[in-house]
Amino acid sequence: MLAASDGSQSAPLGYAAGELRVRASTLMHLDDLPAELAGWGPIHAHLARTVAKRQIGGEWRFAVCDEDGHLLFAGVTRRRPGGWPHHQMGVAGEPEPEVRVVPVRGRGIVELQFPLSLLRALHADLHALGGWAGVVADVVGQYEAAGPDHAPGEGAGDGDGGDAGEGPSAGTGDSGDGRRRFPRAGLRRHIQVRDRVCTHPGCRAPATRSELDHTRPYAAGGSTSEGNLAAACAHDHDLRDNGWQVVRTAPGHVTWISRTGHRYPAQPPPVIEPLPEPFAPAGWAHLRPADSGYGAGNITDPAVDELPYVPAYRYEPAWWEEPLAKPDAAQEVTVRAGPPADPAEDIPPV
C-alpha cells in the first residue's frame, strides 16, 4: 500500500508485462497472428489482446513499415481504442471504496505495427473501424506530417499535437540534436524500434533496455543522429573500451570487430516478421473442390470456412492400445495336453 498526499491509502493495481509487439490488425480482431513479448518470445493473439488492455495506461508506440516489414516511421500515440477500459483494475474486480486506485502508468510498452498498405486501407474506411478510428487517424496524421523523409524527431510522433516549433525533422542533427550528448525521446524511440535488440552479434537484449552507442564516438566528433546511433546493452557497450571496434557500413548497419580482427556485421531485423500463410492438415484436401483455385491445406477460401475439420491423424495418445478382437470360433484350434514330461529328461539350465 502506498500513502497518498491526502492521507488515504493507494494501491497500484494491474501489472505491466514489459514490451508487447503486436500487429494492430490482431488487436482489431482482423487476424490471429502471434505477437511478441520483447526478450521472452512469441505469444498467441488472445493473450496479446489481454496484455494490451492491461497496459492501456503505458506508452503506446506505433511502427509504420514497408511491405518487407522494415521500419519507415515510428512514433507514439496518446489515443486509445474506444470502448476499452481506460484505467487499471484489480484482478478481483472493483477496489474497496476506501482504497484509491493509482493507475500503473509509465510501465509497459505496446508497439502497434502497421504495414503501410494496411494503414492506408484502414484510413480509407475509418467509419468501419469503430473505436479504432481515432488511433488510425492519429497514426496517419503523424506519418503524413513527417514528410517524405519521415525523419525521427521529438515533436513528430508524440501524438495529438507535438511541441510547438518542432517539426518532422526535429531530433536529427539539423535541428540541434546532433551536438547533444544524449538523444531526445523521439530519436531514442526511433532507434529502439529500428534495431529491436542489441546490435552485438548473438545478443538478444531488447533495445528498450539497452543504451544508445555512438558508432563514431561522441568525444571524437560523432553526431547524435540516426545514422550514428545503434542499440548496445550495457555489457556490450563496455566492450568498446576493451578492444572491440564498431564501424558503420550503412544507416542502421554496423560491423563489430573483435580483438582478434573477426568481423560481425549487424543489420536491423524487420519490424514485422514474415509469417507463412495458415496451413491446415491434409485431411481437408478431399473437402475442397479441385477447381476452387485453392491448394490443399490452404484455409483462406471463404467458401469452405464452415466445412468440418477432418484430421488426418488419430486423437488417441501414443500409448493407446487397440482392444484385442475376440477370435472367430470357426477358426479356433483345440490344443490337447500331452503326457507329463519325465523329470529325468529335463535339461537343467546352464
Assign 157 to helix, strand or coil: coil
Cell readout for 195 is 534495431
241 pLDDT above the threshold of 50: yes
Q: Give the mean pLDDT of 96-122.
A: 72
Q: Give the mean pLDDT of 13-20.
A: 70
Give the pLDDT score at 160: 54
Residue count of the chain: 350
Banded model confidence at residue 330, pLDDT cuts 50, 70, 90: low
Determine the Cα–Cα distance for residues 191 and 185; give it in Å rounded to an integer: 10
311 pLDDT above the threshold of 70: no
Banded model confidence at residue 299, pLDDT cuts 50, 70, 90: very low
What are 195-217's pLDDT values in tens digits? 999 999 889 899 888 899 888 88
pLDDT averaged over every residue in the chain:
74
Q: Which of 162, 168, 113 minimizes the C-alpha distance to 135?
A: 113
Cell readout for 225 is 543522429
Cα 235 to Cα 119, 165, 190, 198, distances in angstroms? 38, 38, 22, 10
Give the pLDDT score at 85: 76
Determine the Cα–Cα distance for residues 350 and 281; give it in Å rounded to an integer: 56
93 pLDDT above the threshold of 50: no
What are 162-189's pLDDT values in tens digits? 333 333 333 333 444 677 788 888 889 9
Rg of the chain, C-alpha, whole Å: 30
Give the pLDDT score at 177: 65
Determine the Cα–Cα distance for residues 336 and 343; give it in Å rounded to an integer: 21
Determine the Cα–Cα distance for residues 203 and 155; give it in Å rounded to an integer: 31
List for the chain the helix, strand, coil content (%; round to 5): 25, 20, 55
Banded model confidence at residue 15, pLDDT cuts 50, 70, 90: low
Give the pLDDT score at 264: 93
Give the pLDDT score at 216: 87
Q: Give the mean pLDDT of 35-45.
A: 91
Q: Give the mean pLDDT of 131-158.
A: 75
Question: Is residue 72 packed enough to be buried (19+ CB in 10 Å), middle (13-18) or exposed (0-12)?
Answer: middle
Give the pLDDT score at 271: 93
Long-range contacts of 276-283 (CB under 8 A, 24+ apart): 280/309, 281/311, 281/312, 281/313, 282/312, 283/309, 283/310, 283/311, 283/312, 283/313
Give the pLDDT score at 144: 92
Determine the Cα–Cα distance for residues 292 and 300; give it in Å rounded to an integer: 11
Give the pLDDT score at 252: 76
Give the pLDDT score at 335: 57
- CB of 270 closer than 8 Å to CB of 72: no
**pLDDT > 70 fraction of the chain, expressed in percent and rounded:** 59
What are 128-140's pLDDT values in tens digits? 888 899 999 999 9
Banded model confidence at residue 331, pLDDT cuts 50, 70, 90: low
Determine the Cα–Cα distance for residues 242 and 251; give it in Å rounded to an integer: 25
Of 51 and 107, the structure prediction assigns the larger pLDDT to 51
